Chains A and B, each alone.
Chain A
Amino acid sequence: MGTPQAPPFVVVRNVTKSFGGAQALKGVSLDIVPGEVHGLVGANGAGKSTLIRILAGLVHPDGGTVAIDGKPTAIDTPHQATELGMNFIHQELAFIPGMTVLQNIMLGIPKRTRFGLVDWKAIAREVAPIAERVGITAPLGASVKGLSTAENWLINIARALVRKARLIVMDEPTASLSASESEKLFAIVRDLSASGVAVLYVSHRLDEILDLCHRVTVFRDGESVKELAGDTLTRRALVEAIVGGHPPGAAPVRQGTSGGKVVLSVDGVARLPRVRGVSFDLHEGEVLGLGGLVGAGRTELVRLIYGADRADGGRITLDGRPFAPRSPGAAVRAGLGLVPEERRTEGLVLAKSLAFNVGLANLDKLVISPLFRLISPRARANLALETIRALAIKSQGIETPVGRLSGGNQQKVVIGRWLQRAPRVLILDEPTRGVDVGARAEIHRLIRDLAATGQAILVVSSEPDELPDVCDRVLVMAEGRIVKELSGPAVTRGAIVAASYAEGPNTPQERP
């Protein structure tokens, strides 16, 4: 247990960082004392990962200081961060499948040699006690292929210990662990703490935070808003600090109703482990929001509905008829449209023009001669011009490569692609991510306008502020299930955040 008297290992003071125009960190401060488990919490986009990336030497702060052992230090490279005694374990673990447990533990660490050859035997003798301490049961010589995520975590922790880490940063460690695996991890975290290693524990799961951490820093909108410890460290205080005293915002005009005809009905749809049985109805003229934390399974769910991945359970009906798309192409023909989460990698062909990208989902409408499938350049141009006009897209013309447009205009191109098709169901995944305030309002208005014409719309958003602005009804997901349904006036930022963090039937279960 860290004692308050011990001089802090890491001191972060007023660190700021902006990317392009967006200020990710507006000034965060944080102390990490040797031997403490320090929790770091906050909503998505609060700046947690930016701070971690700064500590890891992956990005450099614009202002403020980071001091290690009392000395202001510029961490220029990941290598330097390691030298300073900091180790980072991410959700996506870095290990090499073809290598042995021991080789993975020793990855990137200078190895003792004998006659110029790596002396694995001697290394194994040194590593064995560490492996035992963190609870690696697999033999050091075994291949890591087929080891569980939990065991890979242990390997990463062992690697940190071999490097004589003084601070281990764990980012969402239990996201892909079962309950019993998580328990084992907690025991190791406590053991590390007792031996004087500090742990910076980043998690959305407040139960774990309350259970493990000595101290918790809460980030909100790029600022460190609260430090909680001892008696002040309660679930209620955490949720309050995470949500903040934000005004609920002007009550949006909701034209849509959920009284319309059911267009899409989802019943028990699952794809383990991320989607664990989801049911809901989407009505004509309704904007339905899917809220929750990153990793709650929302994107995975809409990909199942859209045919981008195959469900392993459940039924979907579209306008009352069974609907099981084998591919996105089949979903599009059946009357669905998707504006994907990552517009640059999943939405657009960046090197191609605006007209090209809008045309992609409308090629059947552009063909003039069915035999040779020639497309009409004029129809293509008209389609692009109409889209530009309808969505007020700012560009130098329809032949501008979309890669040169701003984020908001790029997003409008992806949305505009579907307007001419007027799909029965339009799914928008993070429709305003990385979009400026003006474009964001326009996109929100467009969503409402489309709903007013009777279209059924499903909006996924990780920003709790966004859903109250556009949705008639919101389903909050956690751990692959719907944990809360909010409608009408109950759709507020606070309610969505609280439900995202709520405990309930969604506590981690033993995976099959």
Chain B
Amino acid sequence: MSDITIGSRHLSPGAKTALGVFARYGTIIGLLAMILAFSLLSPRAFPTVGNFTNVLNQASLAMIIAGGLTLAVTVGELDLSIGFAASLHGILVTGLIVQNQLPIPLAIAIVIALGALIGLINGFIVTKMRVNSVIATLGVGTIITGCAFAYSAGVPIVSGVPEAFLQLSLGRWLFDIPNNIVIMVLVLGGLWVLVERTDIGQQIQAVGGNAAAARLAGINVDRIKTLGFIISGMCAALTGILLASRLGSGTTSAADSYLLTAFAAVFLGSATLRDGEFHILGTLVGALIIAFGFNGLNIFGAPTYSQYIFQGAILIVAVGLSSLGRVLAES
């Protein structure tokens, strides 16, 4: 099988190799090309340590939520509840701190536990009730939005947020590196080790690769899928907490848009280095592309609506590249 068919056209082995290289390295080449282009177009504002740190700092929240989503998609499911959940978590953590006067670490722990619980519920609905994950998590996400409005009555919690909580996201506690970046590196590093270097990670990859084969090899597929949702839920909680800290408020729908960003990052990532497989490092690259893209648009003063167009287009290109990689790998 030296030739493959895309659409109805046959490709020669040479074209196939070229396409394969494009599919594997296209995202990285794209990222570097983008950085180079912006550097040339805006040599003063763009290629500075300050700007790069800023981009990374901004992108860290998206990277954490996308890292969690990577686990959910790796086990072969989609989690659409993460954006809505992160919004709820932001409101809840500020509410617990401001209104219930809970110590900050306790409030954070409670919210992250709730994120895990939401993941557990998603996993239960998908694996035990056999509901398609798109529908299940969309339903759960909508319920969560309802809960968020009920809790906050639609009014942002702004006043009385303690400075200590703001410092969680705004501070630089380690070598003058923004906390967001430190937390992001720790979370993504941990997830990378989990997926690539533990037996649970092997099971996670097996379940996503072929659930039927994984089950017959003795793996508890339902438990692994649920674990994917739980990690996705916990990362959503962390992003929600950091966003509330950065904004200094708990606002309904504040984190909703992270859903789309996370999906774009994850699918761009799956087209990176591996043939359409989801992986943490890829997600990191995907999130960087989106972050630098936004940053460039901002620097050149592009109107806000262009960000949506950019992000929608990226999502489609990402999924296209991802399935191209898979087609090439399987031929």
Contact = CB atoms under 8 A, between A and B. Distances in A.
B205 A356 contact: yes
Nearest to A376: B197
Contacts of A373: 198-200
Nearest to A417: B217
B200 A345 contact: no
B329 A349 contact: no
Contacts of B214: 349, 360
A318 interface: no
A372 B217 CA distance: 22
Contact of B216 (A308, A356, A375): A308
B172 interface: no
Find the residue from B210, B214, B219 having the highest chain A CB count within 10 A: B210
B330 A360 contact: no
A238 to B, nearest CB: 37
A407 interface: no
A329 interface: yes
Interface stretch (A113-121, A221-229, A272-280, A330-338): A330-338
B135 to A, nearest CB: 18
A328 interface: yes
B215 interface: yes
Interface string A345-362: 111111110001001110
21 contacts: A308-B215, A327-B215, A329-B215, A331-B218, A332-B217, A332-B218, A340-B213, A340-B216, A345-B212, A346-B216, A347-B213, A348-B213, A349-B210, A349-B213, A351-B329, A356-B202, A361-B218, A372-B193, A372-B198, A373-B199, A375-B198
9 closest A-B pairs by CB? A332-B218, A349-B209, A363-B199, A360-B217, A349-B210, A329-B218, A373-B198, A361-B217, A346-B212
Contact of A338 (B198, B199, B216, B277): B216
A364 B199 contact: yes
B197 A375 contact: yes
Contacts of A142: none
Interface of A: 306, 308, 327-329, 331-333, 338, 340, 345-352, 356, 359-361, 363-364, 366-367, 372-375, 377, 401, 403, 417
B189 to A, nearest CB: 13
Find the residue from B206, B216, B330 having the highest chain A CB count within 10 A: B216
B199 A350 contact: no
Contacts of A332: 217-218
Contacts of B206: 349, 352, 356, 360
B212 A360 contact: no
A115 B195 CA distance: 61
A329 B210 contact: no
Find the residue from B218, B219, B275, B277 having the highest chain A CB count within 10 A: B218
Contact of A352 (B197, B209, B218): B209
Nearest to A364: B199
A361 B212 CA distance: 14
Nearest to A340: B216
Given A331-B218, A351-B330, 16 more contacts: A308-B215, A327-B215, A328-B216, A333-B218, A349-B213, A350-B330, A351-B277, A352-B209, A360-B202, A360-B203, A360-B214, A360-B218, A363-B203, A366-B199, A375-B199, A403-B330
Contacts of B210: 345-346, 348-350
A347 B200 contact: no
B128 to A, nearest CB: 14
A401 B329 contact: yes
B209 A350 contact: yes
Nearest to A380: B202
Contacts of A306: 216
A199 to B, nearest CB: 37
B42 interface: no
Interface string B242-270: 00000000000000000000000000000
Contacts of B277: 351
B220 interface: yes
A345 B215 CA distance: 11
Nearest to A20: B1
Interface string B208-249: 011011111111100000000000000000000000000000
Interface string B312-331: 00000000000000100110
A375 B218 contact: no
Nearest to B197: A374
Contacts of A349: 205-206, 209-210, 213-214
Given A329-B218, A360-B219, A375 B275 contact: no
A338 B198 CA distance: 24
A364 B202 CA distance: 11
A363 B202 contact: yes
Given A331-B218, A333-B218, A351-B329, A346 B199 contact: no
A417 B198 CA distance: 18
A298 B197 CA distance: 38
A351 B198 contact: no
A329 B277 CA distance: 25
A351 B209 contact: yes
Nearest to B207: A349
B220 A327 contact: yes
A367 B216 contact: no
A364 to B, nearest CB: 7
Contacts of B212: 345-346
Contacts of B193: 372, 374
Given A347-B213, A351-B275, A375-B197, A328 B218 contact: yes
Contacts of A327: 215, 220
B217 A375 contact: no
